[in-house]
Amino acid sequence: MADKLRFALSVLVAFLLLGLFAAHANAAEAVEAESQATGAGPQIVSPAGRIVIPGDMKIVTEKGPNDHLSSELEVWRVSKGQLVLKVWQARLDSGNLTTATLDGGSFEAGVDSLHPWTRYAIRARHGTARGFTEWGLSL
């Protein structure tokens, strides 16, 4: 009787361990699927290169995924190839989700305009029901 009980317990423990391993594998697959679902950041279509006429600047990204719900856009001051200060941001959550002008966002960090001949970078990411893409960056 004791041998049958030990055998039954060992079978039960084996099934529990298999269940834990399967649950862990499913969780890892879900994280990987989420990462693939949100994807790489969008390409910045415009402006290309340096921003020379800030007042007329329009930021355009490539089209988002099929379930594109929003976009976040940022302008950063750049020094020696590094982002050093976020000076402007916008969140687009209705209408055109791929295009913004400076009037459609807000300046930050005591900055009230972009200055000609200053180096800036633009970052953008698209939001979906599954989360945000990675940041796309244009230096």
State the amino acid at position 128 in one-letter form: T
The confidence score (pLDDT) of residue 119 equals 87
Q: Is 113 helix (H, G, I), strand (E, B) or coil?
A: coil
- 32 and 60, same domain (yes or no): no
Phi-psi region of 49 (alpha: psi -120 to 50; beta: other; left: phi over 0): left
The confidence score (pLDDT) of residue 122 equals 92
- 119 and 87, same domain (yes or no): yes
pLDDT (tens, 9 = 90+) of the chain, 139 residues, equals: 666 656 655 654 444 434 433 443 444 344 344 434 457 888 888 886 655 566 678 889 988 877 889 999 999 999 998 999 999 999 998 888 999 999 999 999 899 888 878 888 999 999 998 899 999 998 7
- 28 and 66, same domain (yes or no): no
- 53 and 34, same domain (yes or no): no
State the amino acid at position 81 in one-letter form: G
Instruction: Please give the residue range of the domain that contains residue 112.
Output: 44-138
- 102 and 74, same domain (yes or no): yes
